[in-house]
Amino acid sequence: MIVGARRASSATMRAALHREWGSPLEIAEVARPEPAAGEVRVAVRATSVNPIDMHTGRNSGYEQSMRLPCIPGWDVAGVVDAVGYGVTRHAVGDRVYGLAWFPYPAGTYAEYLTVPAYHLVPMPKSASFAEAGCLPMAALTAWQMLDALGTRAGQHVLISGASGGVGHVAVQLAAARGAVVTALARPENHTALRELGSHSCVDYTDPDAVAAIGKVDAVLDLVGSDFGASLFDRVRPGGGIALATAWSINGYRDAAAERGIRVASCLVEPDPMALAAITELVDAGAVRIVVGAEFGLSDASAAQHWVEHRRGFGKAAIMVNAQEPS
């Protein structure tokens, strides 16, 4: 329940929300949540914008799970502020991060969040709140897509949308598994992608250059649409292609099957074991998240615009100034 435009008491918090589907994000005071059994409350320090945030704000196919007023967001990095009954894995004051509740509503564009304790793991010691807040959905998406394809050392992996939030992490995770990585991106992003571990970079707007890649073992399609379908021709028979929204492309599975290609339709999910493994890679220097821009909670709309119109490389962080727990 929205209670007004100014902080009334410690029982409320600031959040960026949609009052109506498709309405602009606005900052409002809402009730501060209390953790149920098995949950913790996190004082949010950072979250990030993922493309799905804009779809949920428009209620594009999420009628069954999203309710008004709608607070977007699933990535979270912050400090445990309170624990519910039975929680032992985290304590008040712990720095944690994770993918909260996905695909069900989480509402991380807010000062506080309640989340199942098992969705969270300790933050990387080497990461800032901004970096940790940008990591979970992107890294877990890439990790689970690579798992779905059985990516291993020596395989040739082609990654489309490689300069985006998921893409630039996928390049690093594939390289960390020993794969040979080819990144599809605009030329201005090639240097950065090579520094992150890509063995070669190709301008996706140049059809001849894309064709010259030849056949690869696996494709991580982070673009979709007709361009995603065109990448079937780059996969050797017996190879695979993974896409987070494969079901949205008519004939995608049939077209892949005709070529003898495996298709993995991946929907990211909270996975604390995988996130803990990713944390180790971050602290070892093998993976880093690129924060392309930082915004305050009051500028959440600008952060979404930055992502939707691809204003830079990497991810957009939303920094939240919640009160430190006492």
Q: What is the pLDDT of residues 44-78, one digit of tens each?
A: 999 999 988 887 777 655 555 678 888 999 999 99
- Whether cis (ω within 30° of 0) applies to the bond prior to 103 is yes
pLDDT at 60: 56
Q: Which residues of 210-229 are buried (b: 16+ CB within 10 A; e: fewer)?
A: beebeebbbbbbbbbeeebb
Domains (ranges, CATH) in the chain?
A: 2-135+289-319 (3.90.180.10), 138-265 (3.40.50.720)
* pLDDT at 325 exceeding the cut of 70: no
Model confidence pLDDT, tens digit, residues 30-44? 999 999 999 999 999
Average pLDDT over residues 302-319: 90
Give the closest residue to 18 by CA, choosing from 6, 34, 30, 36. Answer: 30
Centre a 10 Å sphere on the Cβ of residue 92 and count the other Cβ atoms it contains: 14
Q: Are 169 and 145 in contact (CB under 8 A)?
A: no
Residues in the chain: 326
Q: Residues 141-193: pLDDT tens digits?
A: 999 999 999 999 999 999 999 998 999 999 999 999 999 999 999 999 999 99
pLDDT tens by residue, 90-126: 999 999 999 999 989 999 999 999 999 999 999 999 9
Q: How confident is the model at residue 3 (pLDDT cuts 50, 70, 90)?
A: very low
Per the rule left: phi > 0, alpha: psi between -120 and 50, beta: everything else, 310 is left
How close are the terminal C-alpha atoms of the chain, in Å?
26
pTM over 0.85: yes
